[in-house]
Every structure is written in structure tokens, then in C-alpha cells.
Amino acid sequence: MLTIRLFCAAGMSTSLLVRKMEEAAAAEGTEVDIIAFPVGEMDQHLDGIDVALLGPQVGYMKAQMQKTAAAKGVPCDVIPMADYGMVNGKNVLAFAKKLANK
């Protein structure tokens, strides 16, 4: 099971991406748990997860959020803008797996 948390400005703009990532995972037989939250709630949602992804709209917070995530041993990075914009669930899932070393 790969546990992924997406963090964006309000936690809503990534909902379509979450669905596309879940579809991509199902197609490749990967079990996932993916939920999106507002970036302001990141510290409340890091326990027991494999990777934290930031929406490009909050990419300016990357250094601060990586410190927060690192304190819990969770890799964190910004979703590539092109994949986010195109809602490319397959590529974002691959990005998450690479960050999580899974």
C-alpha cells in the first residue's frame, strides 16, 4: 500500500488529480491511499504516510514544507506543473512512487 497525501491551496483543486491517480494505480495493480488537504494542515496529516506532494500553486512553500515533512521522515516535493495541469495521474503516481522509493 502506497500512502500519498497531496497538499494544495485549499485541498480541493487536486481532487480530480487524486481520482486520476487512483485510476492509474488500479490499472497497474498498485494499492494506494490518496487524499488531498490544504497545505496549512500538512503537519496534521504526515503520520504513517509514504510521500507528501505539493500542488504547484504552493510550490513557493517547498523549502518550509520539506522541513516539516522531513521531521516525520516523509519525502516531499512539488508536482511537476505540466503533469498537474494536464491532470496526468499516471505520471504523478510514478513521481510519488519514485520519491517514496516504491
Element (H or E) spanning 53, and its range? strand 51-54
Strand order in the sheet with 51-54: 32-38, 2-8, 51-54, 76-78
Residue in 18, 25, 55 with CA at minimum distance from that of residue 40? 55
Phi-psi region of 75 (alpha: psi -120 to 50; beta: other; left: phi over 0): beta
- Cα(86)–Cα(73) distance, rounded to whole angstroms? 30
Candidate list 2, 4, 6, 8, residue with the active-site label: 8
Active site residue 76: no
- Residues annotated as part of the active site: 8
